[in-house]
Amino acid sequence: MHTTEWTTASAGGALTALLGGAVRALRARCVLRGRARAVGMPVHRPRRGGRRGSWSFGRPGGRLRLPPGFGRYGAGLLLGTGVAVSFHGLRALLAGVLVAAACCRWLPERPTAEERRAQAESAALRAQLPLTADLLAGCLASWCAPATAAEAVAGAVAEPMATRLAEAAADLRMGGDAEESWARFGSDPALAPLGRCLARACASGAPPAAGLARLAEGSRASAAAAAQQRARRAGVLATAPLGLCFLPAFVLIGVVPVVTGLAGTFLVHT
């Protein structure tokens, strides 16, 4: 068997195995759904956790779960197979193996459910930071105790900031050191500026209202700048596919005929 035929057969076998595994997984899911409905077991989509489109059979642990790294290794296998099939010879096979290995090594892994939840919570805390700082500044400027101010603001803001403030207020009510309590409150990177501001005010005895107001203003300015940067980046990313579509057409229609005509004229004269 020639090298080209062996490469094509190997790539086809790998692709067939991958598609066969996906078909078997989908068939098993359909069989489980049919059995669950036959016995009257509830079949529903989970509201929290799990992947979009996954199904649960009577209990949260009954969802179809892919092994870790399935997407990365599957993409590497598909890309390596495409490179090996697109060209011929042993070099194409080696290039396909290298491409597959590089994809498996350097492609980013899909974040887990816990990582996505932590990212969403951190983003929510950053969004709530300016309002929380303004409310704390107003409460502390009216000579409220730190624990009372934290409890009042915790009742006025939404989660997850309300839980963090309630924990800090409970710690202060139990007689904990104010500086240490606010330092623990600011252990989250999203709340670190607010925790440092309050801990510094407790250590120095200075009124924290002015610092909190400056923190709220700076947080709003940073959020506005980040939103503008995302908008500019979205515009650049939107024009990139158009450039990739029009550039080959421009080269084929505008550049290639000119070069071909000049080359033909040069060859005729020589």
pLDDT at 217: 92
Strand partners, 56: 44
Q: Domain residue spans in the chain? A: 3-110, 116-218
pLDDT at 96: 76
DSSP percent split of the chain into helix, strand, coil, nearest 5: 80, 0, 20
Rounded to whole angstroms, how far apart are CA atoms 150 and 178?
A: 12
Is 118 within 8 Å of 125 (Cβ atoms)? no
Q: Tell me, rounded to whole angstroms, the distance of Cα 50 from its chain centroid.
A: 15
pLDDT at 47: 45
pLDDT at 135: 93
pLDDT at 194: 92
Is 115 within 8 Å of 144 (Cβ atoms)? no
Length of the chain: 270
pLDDT at 46: 45
pLDDT at 176: 82
Q: Tell me, rounded to whole angstroms, the distance of Cα 174 from its chain centroid.
A: 39
pLDDT at 152: 92
Rounded to whole angstroms, how far apart are CA atoms 196 and 182?
A: 7
Query: pLDDT of the chain along its 270 residues, tens only?
Result: 454 555 554 555 555 555 555 556 666 666 666 655 554 444 444 444 444 444 444 444 445 555 556 666 677 777 777 777 777 777 777 877 787 777 777 777 777 778 888 888 998 999 999 999 999 999 988 888 888 999 999 999 988 999 999 999 999 988 888 888 898 898 888 899 999 999 888 888 888 888 899 999 999 999 899 889 988 888 777 777 777 777 777 788 888 888 888 877 777 766
pTM of the full predicted structure?
0.57
Q: Distances from the Cα of 33 to the Cαs of 24, 30, 36, 64, 154, in angstroms?
A: 14, 5, 5, 11, 44
Q: Distances from the Cα of 121 to the Cαs of 3, 17, 63, in angstroms?
A: 54, 40, 25
**DSSP string of 195-261, one letter each residue:** HHHHHHHHHH---SHHHHHHHHHHHHHHHHHHHHHHHHHHHHHHHHHHHHHHHHHHIIIIIHHHHHH
